[in-house]
């Protein structure tokens, strides 16, 4: 790992806690109705999320171009290189490491699905991004989502599948691995213990209550996660600024769900 990569990674994990609290507004238009929900107004969503002083913000290149300039220097920018839906209805690459450099980013995120007939294509996306990013000393943050095809297609979070997702990240040479919580603290701790790079948690899927989402995050942090990148459980909340502050309390202060909600 070269000096440039080390410096950029240090910016991602710059909080004194050593953990990363990131917010993702990188959900491409193909996910659903753009008139409803927390991302209907992207500039407003970014503004509200930034009140919680996240360490990183992950955005598609276009969102970064249009919405990030006012916040440059307030957090590390991560550019999302991929857009896809679990059923592969959309499966495209939006950005390269060179694009991320031009946008002033500190890291490139690459979201992929594993399992299924297109798994090889996604793994190639990720390995190609790692290879191209090395030229610029640009860290790659892999967002890896295992899929199950037994009844349609859905993202799954079992310990075996999360372990598989983490192994894909290790073997493609990424710098940070983002995966969902497998619902088993001991299993997650074992997975993290065997990973030579930082593992951060995905914030989704959307939980019925913010308390439940925060309790899950607290369990993942106890298991050894180095933080989280949260999307819909923040901007999908009625008070996204409060939700973001609560997540920050769990990730940086070690608060449990009740303590985080009280402090937010």
Return the pLDDT at 141. 98
Question: Rounded CA gap, 46 and 27, in Å?
Answer: 13
Rounded to 10°, the helix 210-222/240-253 angle is 20
DSSP states of 119-159: HHHHHHHHHHHHHHHHTTT--EEEEEEEEE-TTS-EE---H
Q: What positions carry a catalytic annotation?
A: 26, 145, 178
Average pLDDT, consecutive stretches of 10 residues, N- to C-terminus, the chain (264 residues)? 95 98 88 81 94 96 96 97 92 95 98 96 97 98 97 95 98 98 97 98 87 96 98 92 97 98 94
Question: Rounded CA gap, 199 and 81, in Å?
Answer: 19
pTM of the model: 0.96
Question: Rounded CA gap, 232 and 230, in Å?
Answer: 7
Residues 30-60: pLDDT tens digits?
Answer: 666 788 888 999 999 999 999 999 999 999 9
Return the pLDDT at 31. 66
Residue 185, judged by CB atoms within 10 A of its CB (0-12, 13-18, 19+), counts as: middle
Return the pLDDT at 30. 67
- Cβ 261 vs Cβ 214: under 8 Å: yes
Domains of the chain: 23-263 (3.20.20.70)
Return the pLDDT at 102. 97
| Residue 105 Cα distances to 10, 82, 99, 232, angstroms | 13, 15, 9, 22
């Amino acid at each position: 790992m070269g000096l440039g990569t080390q410096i950029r990674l240090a910016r991602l994990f710059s909080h004194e806690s050593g953990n990363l609290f990131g917010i993702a507004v990188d959900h491409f238009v193909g996910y659903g109705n753009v008139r409803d929900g927390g991302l209907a107004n992207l500039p407003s969503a970014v503004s509200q999320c930034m009140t919680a002083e996240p360490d990183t913000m992950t955005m598609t290149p276009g969102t970064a171009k249009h919405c990030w300039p006012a916040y440059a220097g307030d957090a590390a920018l991560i550019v999302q290189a991929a857009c896809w839906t679990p059923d592969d209805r959309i499966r495209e690459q939006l950005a390269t490491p060179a694009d991320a450099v031009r946008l002033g980013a500190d890291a490139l995120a690459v979201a992929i699905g594993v399992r299924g007939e297109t798994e090889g294509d996604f793994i190639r996306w990720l390995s190609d991004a790692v290879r191209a990013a090395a030229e610029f000393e640009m860290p790659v943050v892999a967002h890896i989502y295992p899929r199950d095809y037994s009844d349609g297609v859905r993202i799954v979070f079992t310990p075996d599948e999360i372990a598989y997702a983490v192994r894909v990240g290790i073997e493609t040479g990424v710098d940070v691995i983002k995966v969902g919580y497998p619902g088993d603290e001991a299993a997650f701790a074992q997975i993290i213990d065997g990973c030579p790079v930082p593992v951060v948690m995905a914030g989704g899927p959307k939980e019925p209550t913010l308390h439940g989402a925060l309790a899950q995050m607290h369990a993942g942090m106890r298991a050894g996660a180095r933080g989280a990148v949260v999307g819909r459980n923040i901007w999908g909340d009625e008070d996204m600024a409060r939700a973001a502050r609560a997540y920050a309390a769990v990730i940086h202060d070690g608060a449990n769900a009740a303590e985080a909600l009280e402090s937010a």
